[in-house]
Amino acid sequence: MKKEPGPGFRKKQIELEPCPICKGKAVMKGVFYELACADCNGSGWVIAGSKLVVSTDELVTQLSFKLQQAQREIAALKSQMVGRQSQYEKLNRLGAGGTNYTGD
Ligand SMILES: [Zn+2]
């Protein structure tokens, strides 16, 4: 039998979307200076669909999830770029010694 972890053991990631009021900028242009946007708790994010404000406690965790996800994506993109770069260099090296190498 598979044992599932009970509810409450794992934090659930809430789907977030950019705040429609401040357009995800987290601040609103005041007359003299920028103010933290009240509609998203100054985070720039609201709960997707319901557009509800995430509580400050929950927000810290949710933003951390989002940041970790973004960092993973950046790392994946970087390794992809490195992979492409080394492939390109390999092709260049092959071509350097014998241009027009046809293989016979
Ligand atoms: Zn906002």
Q: Which residues of the chain have pLDDT under 50?
A: none
CA of 55 to the centre of ligand 1 (A): 13
Identify whether the C-beta of residue 40 lies closer than 8 Å to the C-beta of residue 59: no
Instruction: Specify the pLDDT at position 69.
Output: 94
Instruction: Specify the pLDDT at position 17.
Output: 95
Instruction: Specify the pLDDT at position 78.
Output: 94
Instruction: Specify the pLDDT at position 9.
Output: 64
CA of 71 to the centre of ligand 1 (A): 23
Enumerate residues with CB within 5 Å of ligand 1 (an ion): 19, 21-22, 37, 39-40
CA of 24 to the centre of ligand 1 (A): 6
Specify the DSSP element, H or E, that contains 58.
helix 56-97
Instruction: Specify the pLDDT at position 91.
Output: 79
Instruction: Specify the pLDDT at position 84.
Output: 83
Identify whether the C-beta of residue 30 lies closer than 8 Å to the C-beta of residue 38: no
Tell which residue, 54, 57, 36, has the closest CA to residue 45: 54
